[in-house]
Amino acid sequence: MKLFHLSDLHIGMKLYNRDLREDQIYVFRQICDAARREQPDAILIAGDIYDKALPSAEAVALFDQFTGELAAAAPHAKLMMISGNHDSAPRINVFRKILQRQNLYMIGTPPQNPEEHIEVVTLEDEFGPVHFYLLPFVKPSMVKAIVGTDANGVNLSYNETLHQLIDQEEINPKERNVLVSHQFYLPVGSDAGQVERMDNEFRTVGNIDEVKADLLERFDYAALGHIHKPMKVGSEVFRYCGTPMPYSVSEANQQKGIIMVELGAKGTVNTSVLPLTPLHPVRVITGTLEEVLTQGCEDYVSILLTDTADPNLTDMQDRIRAAFPNHLEIRRQNLRTADYSVSVTKADHMDPFDLCNAFLKDLDEEEQALLQDVINTVLEVQS
C-alpha cells in the first residue's frame, strides 16, 4: 500500500506580509502531479491545514481548489486529514460524515466523551487490512472527560494525556497500523531544547506540550505534523515531513518534500522523499552592500550587510529593492564588539575618554572626535 505523507500546509500564511498564495498554488500543483504519477492509495495531511483558525475566503477557496485537483489526480486515493493547533477543530469537523462518502476524511475534533474513540479508517490490500488512526491536535483540557485529572483535579500533562488516549484503543499488534497525529513528540530520553524549531512554530513555555515517542512504537508508521523541519523521531518510520515550502527565514535552504511510504507485509515499511521546489526559495545573503548587489534575484531573501561604514539609507534601500524585488528584510551586522576584559581596578584609574576607547575598541578619528565631544558636553553639564 502506497501513502503520501504531508502536513503543515498553512494555507493563507504570509511571509513578512508577503502574500504566499501563488507560491502555495505552485507547490500544490507539484503535489498533484506527484499524486497523478504515483497513484497513492491514501494521502495523509497531518494538521495545520490553514494558518489561522478563521481563514480568509481566499484561503478556503485555495484549499477547495487543492483538494479538488488532488482528488482528480488520484481518484482512487483516500484523502485523510486532521486539524492542527492552527486550525479551528469544529470548522474542520463540519460535514465529517458526508465528506467520508467522497473518500475525504476531515477529522477536526478528538474523542471527548468516554464512549468515543479515535477515528479509524481501514483499507485493504493483498497483505490484509491497514488501520489509520486519525488523531487531531489534543490539549489535555479537551479530553479530560476520558483521561481524567490528577488527585488535585488538575489536568494531566500532554504526555500522560496522549498515552492514556492511545491506551484506550484496541490496537491489534498483528495487523498494520498507521497513526496520523499533530503533536510535539520526543524520543524517550531526549531533551526538547535539542530539537531545532523554526521561527514561526508555536512553542509552549517550558515545552509542556512534549510527548514521549514511546507510544508511537505500537504503530507501523507515524505520519506526524507540527514540526516544520523534516525530522525523524528516533526511527525511520516515525516522521515529521515538515512544511511543503519554506515559511520562515530559518527554513532557508531546507529541502522540502512529500514522504512516500510503501507498506508491505507486517513489519515491511519503505520510505522515500519526493522533492518539492518552491516558486521563490528563501535565502540568507551576507556581505557588503556592493557584494550583495551582485547576487540580485527574485528569491525571498534576508539580507545581512557587513559594511563598517553607514551607507546612505535611501540609496541603499532603492538599490536593494531594484536588485531584490522580493527581499524580506535588511539587517546590519554589528562588527564592533565591546571589550569586557578591562578590569574594574584598571578602569578606576582611567579617564572617561580612555575608558570608552578601551571598551568600544578600534574607533576611527571621526568617531573619537565625536566621543570626546559627547564626554565634554556631559562633563560641562555635571559641573
Residue 50 is given by DSSP the state B
- For residue 7, name the pLDDT band (cuts at 50, 70, 90): very high
Gap between the Cα atoms of 286 and 23, Å rounded: 24
> What was the pLDDT predicted at 343?
47
Confidence of residue 234 (pLDDT cuts 50, 70, 90): confident
For range 192-208, the mean pLDDT:
66
Strand partners, 122: 131
Average pLDDT over residues 192-203: 66
pLDDT band at residue 144 under the 50/70/90 scheme: confident
| Spatial separation of the C-alpha atoms in residues 150 and 157, rounded to whole Å | 9
pTM of the model: 0.83
CA 132/CA 219 separation, integer angstroms: 10
Sequence-ordered strand ranges (E) for 126-236? 128-135, 176-182, 184-186, 210-212, 221-225, 231-232
Q: Which DSSP helix (H) or strand (E) runs through 105?
A: strand 104-107
| Angle between helical axes of 352-360 and 365-382 (0-180°, round to 10) | 140
> Span 52-75, mean pLDDT?
96
Longest dimension (CA), the chain: 93
- At residue 24, the 3 state secondary structure works out as helix
51: DSSP letter: S
Extended strands (E) in 136-246: 176-182, 184-186, 210-212, 221-225, 231-232, 238-240
pLDDT of residue 339: 47
pLDDT in tens, 238-286: 999 999 999 999 999 899 999 999 999 999 999 999 999 999 999 999 9
Question: What average pLDDT does the segment 345-363 reach?
Answer: 65
According to DSSP, the β-strands at 300-305 and 327-332 are parallel
Q: Which pLDDT does position 2 carry in this prediction?
A: 98
Indicate if the pLDDT at residue 193 is higher than 70.
no
- Residues of the chain with pLDDT > 90, as a percent, come to 64
Coil/strand/helix, residue 201: coil
Binning pLDDT at 50, 70 and 90, where does residue 204 land?
low
22: closest CA among 233, 267, 300, 308?
300
| Predicted confidence (pLDDT) at residue 307 exceeds the cutoff of 70 | yes
For the cut 70, the answer to whether the pLDDT of residue 102 exceeds it is yes
